[in-house]
Chain A
Amino acid sequence: MKDVRITPIKNGTVIDHIKPGMALKILPLLNIDQDYNTGLSIAMYVQSKKHKLKDVVKIEDKELHHREVNRLAVITPNASISIIRDFKVVDKFKIELPKVIEGIVRCENINCITNGKEPVVSKLVRAQEDPVKFKCYYCGRIQNDLEKRII
């Protein structure tokens, strides 16, 4: 018998194949905080076929759009999104890294002007494909380990 840890949802969004341990970190990026009062299920470190371990988040009665979920790529680039209506998957897509990441990740250069008290949000722009690399729009520094510097 299939081991069902979290039950299917009727309407909403399922974020699957999240990097293990990252489920709680993605919630603030989706503006889901203590005021969120619709159903939310989180499974962490569960077995998957593709990846050895994964996290899964199910958000009831909320359909996430491509632009909203692409922000998650910083934390979990391989996650997939399913939009559910009446228990059926009506749309399924992979997260895509955006061309510009604004206000999500701090620049790794501690001497960058954006790490001071200036009235700007951080802005990283895609500088290279395969492997994808971002650089700071302001100081030009190529960025590593983005997930370690989430604001």
Chain B
Amino acid sequence: MSLKGRDIVAITDLDINEIEIILKEAERMVPAARGEVKNDLLSGKILASLFFEASTRTRLSFETAMHRLGGDVITIAGQEGSSLIKGETLADTIRMAEGYSDIIAIRHPKEGAARLSATFSRIPVINGGDGAGQHPTQTLLDLFTIQQNHGDISKLHVTIGGDLKYGRTTHSLSLALGRMGARMTFVAPKRIQMVDHILDDLNRMDASFEMAYDIKDTIEDTDVLYMTRIQKERFPDVEEYMKVAGGFRITAEMLEPAKKNMIVMHPLPRVDEIHFSVDDTPHAKYFQQAFNGVPVRMALLHLLLEE
């Protein structure tokens, strides 16, 4: 099975076998991602890194990934650096960029921008996040981090907490975990619990999940605690936000009843969801998770471009 030439717009574009292939390839890429060995698999290839919206981890790790593979990078960072601000359509920008490069990574504030880019581009397009839509490479690196720490994902209980209504990360992650057979618990305040269309999809695939409203209720029994940021602007007033957000702040003390090998993950940036005291516990894996953006994106770039 080859992924050569494919577009990766949504995690659902990939079947379970293809996800496994990418994760295996990512494992192979770790030494080169760390800079321990030199690698020139993509020497002579160019990545167009088109980031029309602010991004720290995603853009830097895409670009690092390409450099670590011996390839080159051309970049647009922010709309002001591009012709979009002059009124150029994204379709035209893409048709221009495909002439300058071999593969495109794109982030854009509009949902559907990556699919549109893939429609117009003859070279592979990887979605680096489109508005509140899809962010498949985040899901891949999340799965990679889980697998690195626990092995077989199908035997795990994953608790996903925080903003499950608006958080695109949690949507694609739960769809992937559901397909891979993991058991899930969604912990969130009612106002921002998991959205119906994702629950419908999970039901259709016979995924095992339940809802909870307090992290303390699930912490003893969980293998992965995946936290996301709760945004103030989702609440009618600051008081209500403070009340809710307080219950979703993880501290080292709260993790005492957890299994020894339970891991805490977060797509970052974090605000108050994970107290600094957690950083020094063996549970904290969010920086490893952020690093994993590099080997996973190296794996994708290589698989989509391999000769």
Contact = CB atoms under 8 A, between A and B. Distances in A.
Contact of A113 (B110, B132, B197): B110
A136 B10 CA distance: 13
B197 A114 contact: no
B179 interface: no
A7 interface: no
Contacts of A120: 91, 116, 119
B150 interface: no
Nearest to A141: B111
Q: Which of B10, B89, B110, B119 has the most CB of A within 10 A?
A: B110
A113 B120 CA distance: 13
Contacts of B109: 111
A109 B111 contact: yes
A138 interface: yes
A140 B108 CA distance: 15
B interface, how many residues as a size bin?
20 to 34
Contacts of B131: 111, 139
Give the interface size class of chain A. 10 to 19
A140 B89 contact: no
A137 B115 contact: yes
A41 B89 CA distance: 44
Interface in A119-151: 119-120, 128, 136-142
B22 interface: no
A139 B115 contact: yes
A117 B110 CA distance: 12
Interface string A44-58: 000000000000000
Contacts of B90: 113, 118
Contact of B112 (A117, A139, A142): A139
B197 A142 contact: yes
Contacts of A111: 109-111, 131-132
B115 A138 contact: yes
A112 interface: yes
A19 B26 CA distance: 55
B178 interface: no
